[in-house]
Structure 1
Amino acid sequence: MSSSSFLLSHPEQIKLQAGGGLVNAQMVTFHLNNKCPFPVWPAAAPNADHPVIADGGFLLLPNQTRRVHAPPTWNGRFWGRTGCNFSTSSSQSVACQTGDCQGLLSCNGSIGKPPATLVEVSLQEDKSKPSFYDVSLVDGYNLPISISTKPADRKCWIGGCAKSINSLCPQELQVLDRSTGAVVACKSACLAFDLDVFCCRNAYGKPETCMSSMYSTMFKDACPSYFSYAFDSPPPLVSCFSREYAITFCPSRWGTHLPM
């Protein structure tokens, strides 16, 4: 399941507010945790024909957790935005250093600007058809993220990263903070060069012809539980049924250990 397989919906879809009136025993709960030493603005975007949840985005301060409810068959993506400032203008085109969605706090169904680490989710209501989820770097990286069922189960867990990709990112892939020059995100080779060989398209649009590159290998070495390119094999995809999931930004020790 790569990020290219997720076709996203329009903002006009029905909104399901966290804690709103449509929440009931059949809803699935995502616990979004910020373990980063800085604010993160989580965002969510649905696939086509699925509703917007939690207005598509909100602020999460360090050590805060927020519950977000979704229908039991919801499909879509989560990501974290960093370095955001929504106070200067309501009409600004870019408000966040990474993961920005048209300068909006509430993404309302719009997707984020890559590069950003993506959590991709496909929920199933029937226990005989387990839900699927993964973490993808196909569009690049900005934050380490872990995801698991709640309570945590090792077979249902995707850890964070063993290394910080931003600290390893080669110059040609770097996204820099304009004021400090610090690396705040790392592009994928596809995003940086827009070449078929890196983007797994046209003649390279199948597993037999699209292979890992030195860039995706670097991603895989740092974050072995994530998709490093579109045809990553074996696919780092988890299949587990649950009514509750935990998504953690900056999990402790880069997420190399299962949370308690």
Structure 2
Amino acid sequence: MLPRELYYYCLFHLIFPTSQCIHHMKFTPLPMLERRQGAHTTPLIFKNQCPGDIWPAIGTQFGVGPSTQGFKLAPGEERALAVSQDWQGRAWGRANCSFNAAGTGPSSGGVGRACESCDCNGQLDCKVGGDNPCTLAEFTLHAGDKQTYYDISLVDGYNLPMAIVVEPHGDSHLEDIPPNLTNPSCVGTIHLLAPQDFNPYPTPDAEFLNTNSSYKLPLDVKVNDEQVDTWCPWDLMVNQPKAPQDGHYDYPDGKVQRPAFNPCLSACTKYQKPEDCCQGEYNSPSKCPVGEYSKSAKAVCPDAYSYAFDDQTSTFIIPSGAGFIIIFCPGGRSTNIL
């Protein structure tokens, strides 16, 4: 086990060699790990703080997954699931869904998409990954080194604001870690963004994402409303608005208003070019350029993954044993922890 000082150093800077601070999506958990088959001992809690219904989805890459891979959450609802201690996987939120009574296709009948965003082949209980773009919460609970790795990823795109909150699960070592170092949040949707002077701790006992005035969460205050409203490059917007036609009045500033729900594809997802996806001759940090999408995503969500080699300011590392709370539309502003 790494000493506590190294945990914190990795958490703050993530600049150690890969032997010390490995990003969890770069490797497969060791198969010789002790596993209790079927033991669902680690909590995954989903909360919906969005103004509308959300359909969370879960994909398992290793270990024992939860009892369901997809369900509905109304505003204000939460649901607790559990996974094995060595689970590796991801979670995301689907929006604007309409399923048939069996949850096996769209309510309109036949086959096809049931969700406008992050659809899983029309299935309520996801058996495949969601259609991009999706804001992802990614986890490797036990990588073979007694550490847990997790992140918010925008590598494939963005659809919903999301926060990840550590649940110590009764572990005193985890309870000792200041919560303002472990709970990232990404808010890239203008109408769900708090003002730049947002104060989540107006009273001494106020809490925000399991932090309080003694352990204040560092929030980004650099980006303004216009930057958040327009961060997605025009060609990567899923719902591109049409410019005014002849005979219609233009907007006063000459700009076309963007839709309130504005999912954004990454350049890699849309164009599949090696230089955007860090593949082939670009498969190294020194050779893969940081594109417009990645720069914009990182400005709006400093603690989120924006492209394949964004490890140093995106991966969170804590001792193994924690559970997690995934919050959709957490409110406030994006964090700037790392």
TM-score if structure 2 supplies the norm length? 0.64
1:191-206 pair list within 5 angstroms? 191-206=269-284
Gaps of 5+ in 2: 1-22, 30-36, 101-106, 169-177, 191-227, 242-257
Q: CA deviation at 1:161?
A: 2.8
Match of 1:143 in 2: 160
1:79-228 pair list within 5 angstroms? 79-87=92-100, 88=107, 91-108=110-127, 110-124=128-142, 129-150=146-167, 153-161=179-187, 164=190, 167-176=230-239, 182=259, 183-228=261-306
Note the aligned Cα RMSD (angstroms).
2.9
Q: CA deviation at 1:3?
A: 6.6
Match of 1:56 among 69, 73, 76: 69
Report if the CA contact (8 A) 1:149-1:242 is conserved. Answer: no
Match of 1:19 in 2: none
Tell me, in whole angstroms, the C-alpha distance in 2 between the residues paired with 1:129 and 1:221.
32
Tell me, in whole angstroms, the C-alpha distance in 1 between the residues paired with 2:277 and 2:93.
23
Report if the CA contact (8 A) 1:2-1:136 is conserved. Answer: no
| 1:70 is the counterpart of 2:83 | yes
Tell me, in whole angstroms, the C-alpha distance in 2 between the residues paired with 1:6 and 1:141.
25
Match of 1:40 in 2: 54
Q: CA deviation at 1:246?
A: 1.1
Q: Structure 1 residues 204 and 78 mapped into 2: Cα distance closer, same or farther (>3 Å)?
A: same
Q: Structure 1 residues 172 and 102 mapped into 2: Cα distance closer, same or farther (>3 Å)?
A: same
Other structure's SS at 1:58 match: coil
Tell me, in whole angstroms, the C-alpha distance in 2 between the residues paired with 1:4 and 1:137.
16
Q: CA deviation at 1:250?
A: 0.7
Q: CA deviation at 1:54?
A: 3.3
Cα displacement string for residues 188-220 of structure 1 (whole angstroms, at most 9, x for unaligned residues): 011122211111101111111012112110000
Tell me, in whole angstroms, the C-alpha distance in 2 between the residues paired with 1:199 and 1:160.
22
Report if the CA contact (8 A) 1:42-1:60 is conserved. Answer: yes
Q: Structure 1 residues 162 and 39 mapped into 2: Cα distance closer, same or farther (>3 Å)?
A: closer
Supply the AA of the counterpart residue of 2:181: K
Other structure's SS at 1:219 match: helix
Report if the CA contact (8 A) 1:42-1:59 is conserved. Answer: yes
Cα displacement string for residues 119-148 of structure 1 (whole angstroms, at most 9, x for unaligned residues): 11001298x612110011110000111102
Q: Structure 1 residues 144 and 212 mapped into 2: Cα distance closer, same or farther (>3 Å)?
A: same
Q: How many residues align?
A: 238
Supply the AA of the counterpart residue of 2:276: F
Supply the AA of the counterpart residue of 2:183: W
Match of 1:248 among 316, 322, 327: 327
Gaps of 5+ in 1: 8-14, 17-21
